[in-house]
Structure 1
Amino acid sequence: MAEIDTPQDPTQDRRCRGRPQVRPDDETRQIIYEAARHEFAGAGYAATSIETVARRAGVSTKTLYRLIPNKAALFEGMVADRLDRFVSEVKLQSGDHTDLETALCAALMVCADLALDEEVIALQRIILQETGKFSDLAGVFYRNAIVRTGAALADWLRVQESRGLIVLEDVDDAAGMLLGMVTSAPRRAALFGHVPLPSRPQIEARARRCAALFLRGCETGTRGR
């Protein structure tokens, strides 16, 4: 059964004649995941309850439990949902530019937008603080965030390799190196040194430098020079 929304102003749509509007379950899940992301990032895993997430999402707890069975599934679904959208964005970048360096910079910016997002950093802090009490949190984040981010970038690199633009011995390893170049230092500084995350212009400049450095080593036109 789908989530039901009743219009607050009955004059908004006279055609409804008082009948409630039905919202698809997929749309309701998206709203719940967005609310959960804010709650987990702000309050931590242990302090976040199904009730507070339902309240923020504007749904009943009965509806939330019908769609998502428990808090662990809510956390995993929320992380997976964010990564699903991220992966689609990376795929969209693969054919947007004719210039390889510009295209790689754009793909790295998509990765950085996720890895250096304030709420994603907040979620990582939660995992570091609470993984002793909730040992499955780290595994969920690793599988759904870290591994899938690397896989998305590796897929992008494979497309470029299939076009004959680059040559790589190990695409997955190269993707991990690239992600580390762009995001690891700023993320560590934010997590452990409480250093503010870089601004978008700073991230863009870093992505350009990383793209140029990477391509000088693997672009087919420079091999053997």
Structure 2
Amino acid sequence: MARAKPSDESRPRGRPPVRSDEETTRIVLEAARHAFAVEGYAATSTEELARLAGISTKTLYRLFPGKAALFEAMCADRLERLLSAVDLQASDDVDIETGLRAALMACADLALDPEVVALQRMVLQQSTTFPELAANFYTNGIARTAKALAGWLRLQVQRKRIVLDDAEEVAGMLIGMVASAPQRAAIYGGAALPSRRQIERRVETCAALFLDGCRAKSPRRSL
């Protein structure tokens, strides 16, 4: 007995569901993140990005006016995700040393994240040709991290746990102590990023230097 053909009513009709701009943007940013990391900024074309995202170049340009804007949005999106996980403890129940270590650890986790370091390496490689990339990366990542730590430091000043004149300046110094040397070693020297335990030890040392200093105390002279 011949099998009956499906009726017209049983066949799906119409176009497949259209993706929202929000979902399309997410897909484009993810495609850009991988493409820029593998090929670099200059070698990645908008046509290639559109192909990887499964959209037309017309749609890509509707969402992003150019490759620089797409790169900026990709960095901002990635750093926003990482920054949202940064929890700078400010509880009254946490002593200053424990709180400072936790705050510095959160900043180090961001600054020494392999993907962030890879982005920074790419930005430095392209900074001469595309100076706006470096400015955008600084604004969306480095400056925001320092601002978050500065806010934590100001709160400690208000609670009379530390004394500072310029929280922003000190925040930059602390992040530099924690992360700059390992970053430079990885970017310029090809060294491996530090392990979790190595970062923890570095944070402990930085916190101790900041809170206690390292100058040897002079022996008191007897009268």
- For Structure 1 versus Structure 2, the TM-score category normalised by the shorter chain is 0.7 to 0.9
Structure 2: which 5+ residue stretches go unaligned? 1-11, 214-223
Matches within 5 A, 1:18-97: 20-21=16-17, 23-90=19-86, 92-95=87-90
Deviation at 1:62, TM superposition (A): 3.8
Query: What amino acid is aligned across from residue 178 of structure 2 in structure 1?
Result: V
Quote the Cα distance in structure 2 between the aligned partners of 1:168 and 1:135.
Answer: 34
Tell me what 1:105 maps to.
Answer: 101
What CA deviation, in whole Å up to 9, does each residue of 1:72-116 have, x standing for no partner? 0011112222333344333x4333662332222222222222221
Deviation at 1:181, TM superposition (A): 0.7
**Partner SS, residue 89 of structure 1:** coil
Aligned pair partner of 1:154 in 146, 150, 161: 150
Asked whether 1:174 is paired with 2:165, we answer: no
Structure 1: which 5+ residue stretches go unaligned? 1-15, 218-225
Matches within 5 A, 1:187-202: 187-202=183-198
Q: Select the structure of larger CA radius of gyration.
A: 2
Aligned pair partner of 2:207 in 186, 208, 211: 211
Q: Provide closer, same or farther for how the CA distance between residues 17 and 123 of structure 1 changes in structure 2, counting only shifts above 3 A.
A: same
What CA deviation, in whole Å up to 9, does each residue of 1:144-202 have, x standing for no partner? 22222211211121222223322211101110110011001101111111111111221
Query: What amino acid is aligned across from residue 192 of structure 1 in structure 2?
Result: Y
Tell me what 1:6 maps to.
Answer: none
Q: How many residues align?
A: 201
Contact map agreement 2:83 2:110 (CA 8 A) in 1: no
Query: What amino acid is aligned across from residue 204 of structure 1 in structure 2?
Result: E
Which has the higher mean CA deviation after the structures are superposed, 208-217 or 51-60?
Answer: 51-60
Q: Provide closer, same or farther for how the CA distance between residues 115 and 72 of structure 1 changes in structure 2, counting only shifts above 3 A.
A: same
Deviation at 1:60, TM superposition (A): 4.5
**Partner SS, residue 151 of structure 1:** helix
Quote the Cα distance in structure 2 between the aligned partners of 1:56 and 1:21.
Answer: 20
Quote the Cα distance in structure 2 between the aligned partners of 1:167 and 1:23.
Answer: 53
Tell me what 1:221 maps to.
Answer: none
Contact map agreement 2:127 2:134 (CA 8 A) in 1: yes
Asked whether 1:142 is paired with 2:138, we answer: yes
Deviation at 1:40, TM superposition (A): 1.4
Deviation at 1:68, TM superposition (A): 1.5
Q: Provide closer, same or farther for how the CA distance between residues 64 and 169 of structure 1 changes in structure 2, counting only shifts above 3 A.
A: same
Contact map agreement 1:42 1:122 (CA 8 A) in 2: no
Q: Provide closer, same or farther for how the CA distance between residues 148 and 61 of structure 1 changes in structure 2, counting only shifts above 3 A.
A: same
Deviation at 1:135, TM superposition (A): 2.4
Q: Sequence identity, in percent?
A: 62
CA RMSD in angstroms, aligned pairs only: 2.6
Query: What amino acid is aligned across from residue 204 of structure 2 in structure 1?
Result: R
Q: Provide closer, same or farther for how the CA distance between residues 154 and 17 of structure 1 changes in structure 2, counting only shifts above 3 A.
A: farther
